[in-house]
């Protein structure tokens, strides 16, 4: 007598459910990667500005002359007084700046000035993209430049 053997395998419904779960997982990963890309752009812009500020401070110390970093909120850009080039910031990044009143050069323009002794006019530069915020604080007495995630 022969015993009937039962075939083992997956039904079409089970395969569809598994494929649907995989699709949801890949969608979540894609969303995570794209939001990480926004944060990466914000971090890169903040690091670039910090580098420009440190360069200006170094130039003031070495040349024994005041050096400024000029920010233009309307055009979302900044420039260093010892260079002719303006450096753009991604238009998707919102830029705000707090500086000394004497350093305001226009309606939406202002400078951070570094002095030959290492001090500066001080201030705060805030970059925001979506919910991510990066804040650059400048200590007026020491000229220290500090980047923070908010």
Which residue range(s) make up the domain with 122?
13-149
Of 46, 42, 50, 43, give the one whose Cα is nearest residue 143: 50
The confidence score (pLDDT) of residue 39 equals 86
| 120 in a structural domain | yes
pLDDT of residue 3: 59
Number of folded domains that form the chain: 1
Which residues of the chain form beta strands (DSSP E)? Answer: 67-72, 77-80, 86-88, 94-99, 104-106, 109-114, 123-129, 132-138, 145-149
Domain membership of residue 3 (yes or no) is no
Q: Give domain status of residue 37, yes or no.
A: yes
Beta bridge partners of 9: none
pLDDT tens digits, 55-93? 999 999 999 999 999 999 999 999 999 999 999 999 999
Q: What is the pTM of this model?
A: 0.77
| pLDDT, the chain, mean | 90
Residue 130 in domain: yes
Say if 4 falls within a structural domain: no
Residue 79: give its domain's CATH number: 3.55.40.10
In-domain check, residue 106: yes
Are the beta carbons of 134 and 43 closer than 8 angstroms? yes
Interval 2-29: pLDDT, tens = 555 667 777 888 888 888 898 888 887 7
């Amino acid at each position: 007598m022969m015993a009937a053997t039962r075939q083992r395998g997956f039904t079409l419904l089970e395969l569809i459910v598994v494929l649907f779960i995989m699709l949801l997982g890949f969608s979540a990963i894609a969303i995570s990667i794209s939001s990480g890309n926004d944060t990466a752009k914000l971090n890169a812009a903040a690091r670039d500005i910090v580098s420009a500020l440190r360069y200006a401070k170094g130039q003031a110390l070495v040349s024994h002359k005041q050096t400024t970093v000029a920010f233009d909120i309307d055009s979302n850009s900044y420039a260093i007084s010892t260079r002719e080039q303006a450096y753009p910031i991604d238009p998707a990044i919102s830029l705000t700046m707090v500086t000394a009143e004497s350093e305001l050069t226009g309606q939406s323009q202002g400078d951070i000035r570094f002095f030959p002794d290492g001090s500066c006019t001080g201030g705060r530069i805030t970059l925001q993209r979506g919910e991510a915020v990066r804040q650059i604080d400048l200590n007026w007495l020491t000229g220290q430049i500090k980047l923070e995630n908010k």
